[in-house]
Amino acid sequence: MCSASNVTDIFLQPGEYFVGAAECRIRTLLGSCVSIILWHPARRVGALSHFLLSSRGADPVSELDARYGAEAMCLMLRELKRLNVSATECQGKIFGGGNMFPQQIQAGRSNVGQRNGETARDLLHSHGIPIVSESLFGVGHRQIIFDVKSGHVWARQLELVDADQPYMRKPA
């Protein structure tokens, strides 16, 4: 939890999540990963996850792991509940799910990013959290900044130049 009077920047790596108060600004960089953002407008408390895969699959769960969508959601909801924030009073926002390797996708098949985005939508719906904003799918990665005080999210999607050079940006 951020407590300083100045804005504290938090940068999330893949598989991390953070819950903080108005003094926090949370950043991350998403490719096929997805961020679920939960924001309580009256309390100015927010949460952001950066998950890599929609689910763990058949692996046994010994403890929750934020690398997986459903588990990241559980971790954020648990922390919000500890702060007496009701999930159903939050606004949901979803970002990411970009296709980082479009040349490898076969027609009619979903990719990791698409599955992650659909999972995020399903998770918010199943918890009764309205989705007020989303920027999902497409090609390339996104830079995300979430200002917990205002609830604003800035997303910048950087598209691929071509399939042979997936990490180069188009010139401005």
- State the pTM of this model: 0.86
Task: Output 73 or 59, whichever has higher pLDDT.
Answer: 73
In sequence order, which ranges of the chain are alpha helices (DSSP H)?
69-82, 112-126
What does pLDDT average to over the chain?
88
83 in a structural domain: yes
116 in a structural domain: yes
1 in a structural domain: no
Instruction: Read off the DSSP letter of residue 64.
Output: -
Number of domains within the chain = 1
Least trusted range by pLDDT, from 1-15, 84-98, 147-161: 1-15
Q: Which domain holds residue 27?
A: 8-169
Q: How far is CA 123 from CA 73, 74, 147, in A?
A: 8, 10, 22
149 in a structural domain: yes
CATH number of the domain to which 43 belongs: 3.30.1330.200
88 in a structural domain: yes
Band the pLDDT of 160: cuts 50, 70, 90: low
Would you state the structure tokens that stand for residue 15, as one six-digit string?
């598989």
Residue 172's pLDDT is what? Answer: 45
53 in a structural domain: yes
pLDDT in tens, 15-49: 999 999 999 999 999 999 999 999 999 999 999 99
Residue 162's pLDDT is what? Answer: 58
2 in a structural domain: no
Going by C-alpha positions, the residue among 171, 133, 132, 137 that lies closest to residue 157 is: 137
Q: What contacts 36, CB < 8 A, 6 or more positions away?
A: 47, 48, 49, 51, 69, 72, 73, 76, 92, 93, 94, 120, 123, 124
